[in-house]
Structure 1
Amino acid sequence: MAVHAVIPARLHAVHKAYGTVQALAGIDLELRPGRLLALLGPNGAGKTTAIALLLGLQAADSGAVELFGRNPRDIAARRQVGVMLQAAEVQDTLKVRELLELTRSYYPAPRSIADCVAMARLDGLMERRYGKLSGGQQRRVQFALAVCGNPKLLFLDEPTTGLDIEARQAMWKAIRMLVTDGCAVLLTTHYLEEAEALADRVAVIDKGHLIVEGSVQEIRARVSQRRIRCTTSLPADVIAAWPQVREVRLEGEQASGWKLEIIVDAAEPVVRRLLADDALLMELEVQRAGLADAFLALTRNEDAAMPAMKEVA
């Protein structure tokens, strides 16, 4: 008989309300080993509640919540989890080394301090007190504390907030390594390019409902919107009046004309008209909708998206 791997985390038909406010309305989510799921949604969508339920910090009103097939409050399940939340209560007076040593002591098979230092780029910070670090340095320490237990499941809630570009890229690299090694990761982020770069799957929720779940490519494919970039002698207000054009943004002005970004519902007729009306058209580029475009379209039109509240393909 085949042995099935235990799913690291699962919500099934979960409802959770705070008084008259429905935070989650029958939501289903699964986190798989070696996969990163980006959980996206506007403020108040239910992301924080979903994480709190999976961490055993709150109880569902109905439905099933499982952590490695157990109750999320089971200590055996919790020891397999690492957590990096937006608001972290860390002892300010302890040194970074002391924080790592203390946190590692809670786990049966922790990651080495050297690995934690390398993954979170903590060189030169180990003997400094946490309260004396900058905001970005504190976020790097919080990441190290989240991974030091060598977790099989990692919750990352806005992990790169406050980081500079170099530190953000380094954290992305560490996250990719964890996923490659088989860790299941749940990521919430307002940086949609971060989700696009890291996620195997994306789940978009709004007002407690799962609107759509699928790969980044599948989510993007739900939006027909395209972006056209070009340098043209045609004024932006003229192009803005054309059919299929949603918006025209001025990106710069050159001797040869205006550098424009044109948001369109259908690219082909607009490109044909640009070529016909401007013989000197330059730097023409057409891009499909990004994850940010798809996210905005889905959450702005939740009522239209509700019939598709299921996994794509």
Structure 2
Amino acid sequence: MELTPAIELRGVNKTFNARSGNPVHALKDVSLTVQPGEIIALLGTNGAGKTTLVDLILGLTTPSSGSIKVMGQAPQKAVYQQKISALMQTGGLLSDLTVKDTLKMIASTFPRHLPLDEVIEQAHLEPIYKRRVGKCSGGEQQRIRFALAILGNPDVLILDEPTAGMDAGARHRFWESMKHQAEQGRTIIFATHYLEEADQFAQRIVLINKGEVIADGTTDELRNMSSNRTVSATFPGGVPELSGLPGAESVEAHGNRVHITTQDSDALARYLLTETDACDLEVTSHGLEDTFLALTQNSGQTQNNEED
């Protein structure tokens, strides 16, 4: 039996009317399917459309055209039935209440919820359980928001910059908890500016630029979408003149070790091995940050050409 997708968007467009009278196309023909238990990272520059996409999935706004389903239902209905919850970066907390009273108060609003002891353990709230929320650090308040997000035992978790304000240790513990959530079948979609988080913890990365999904795949798949590679080689007899290398875009030397950026690593490697004394060749893909920048720039150039 085929599982119902946790989230399914088909041909979604979202247009806002600006004061200038010119419409703003926040999302353009976005289609996306997320299966239960997947961990998805949303990446994009400021204004790319990530926040609009999150708002649509949470039912906070409606698409101008296209359809959105959360666990097979309209987003608003999924929220009402506790099938989806969100951890936002700011707001939603009363500073005068203790952490304990905050959890109890929110729990009382749910027809059913996870045991408080389980939520406290998963959010690592034991050390601050009796502390007033206003006395908690920014990272600790994010852990409180996470506890509130999972309290209703949702099928889907939406996280907006979830580790903002957390130190390295707290971030590591948070993502270990996220892995546990996914193992239980919970779907997790998170927007982040920490590219290393997307690289380490996401099973898929969805890259948005100017309202369009320009890449969707694993980290390795996204790296392969960027044509640039780095060919590294050692020259035992000293680095020769390399200005005429085929396909070389940049050359950087460190002693006898040379790193060459190219779009045709096969041709370059073949040349180095047959025409020079190069040895210890290594061909590597660029890191996620370089890939992110390359894909975003290429997408922007394509969109500008289409507009012209």
CA 1:212–1:92 in structure 2 vs 1: closer, same or farther (change >3 Å)?
same
Deviation at 1:239, TM superposition (A): 6.8
The structure 2 residue matched to 1:167, chosen from 156, 166, 170, is 170
How do residues 188-203 of structure 1 correspond to structure 2 at under 5 angstroms? 188-203=191-206
Residue 301 of structure 1 corresponds to which residue in structure 2? 298
Shift of 1:105: 2.8
RMSD of aligned Cα (Å):
3.1
The structure 1 residue matched to 2:263, chosen from 257, 262, 265, is 265
**Aligned CA distance change for structure 1 residues 43 and 247 (closer, same or farther; 3 Å):** farther
TM-score, with length taken from structure 1:
0.81
Q: Which of 123, 140, 145 is the aligned partner of 1:142?
A: 145
Q: What letter matches 1:11 in structure 2?
A: L
> Quick check: 1:224–1:289 contact (8 Å CA) kept in 2?
no
Report the CA distance between 1:93 and its aligned residue.
1.1
Q: Is 1:222 aligned with 2:219?
A: no
**8 Å contact kept, 2:70–2:78:** no
Instruction: Tell me, in whole angstroms, the C-alpha distance in 1 between the residues paired with 2:139 and 2:285.
Output: 33
Aligned to 2:284: 287
Distance in 2, matches of 1:292 and 1:99, equals 39
Task: Report the more deviating stretch, 57-66 or 259-268.
Answer: 259-268
Does residue 117 of the first structure (1) align with residue 115 of the second (2)?
Answer: no
- In the alignment of these two chains, the number of paired residues is 295
Cα offsets for 1:143-201 (capped at 9, x unmatched):
22212222110001111122211111111111111111111111111112211222222
DSSP 3-state at the match of 2:62: coil
Aligned to 1:158: 161
For the Cα contact (< 8 Å) 1:136–1:163, is it kept in 2?
A: yes
Q: In the alignment, is the contact (CA less than 8 A) between 1:240 and 1:247 conserved in 2?
A: no
Displacement of 1:262 in angstroms is 5.2
Inter-partner Cα distance in structure 2 for 1:190 and 1:268: 33
TM-score by length of 2: 0.82
How far, CA to CA, are the matches of 1:73 and 1:263 in structure 2? 49
1:226-241 aligned at under 5 Å gives the runs 226-227=229-230
Provide the C-alpha distance between the structure 2 equivalents of 1:240 and 1:193, rounded to a whole number of angstroms. Answer: 34
Structure 1 residues 184, 102: CA separation in 2 closer, same or farther (over 3 Å shift)?
A: same
**Distance in 1 (alpha carbons) for counterparts of 2:164 and 2:79:** 31
Give the share of equivalent positions with the same residue, in percent.
35
> Among residues 44, 47, 57, which one is paired with 1:44 in the alignment?
47
Q: CA deviation at 1:227?
A: 3.7
Matching of residues 47-58 of structure 1 within 5 Å: 47-58=50-61
5+ residue gaps, structure 1? 307-313
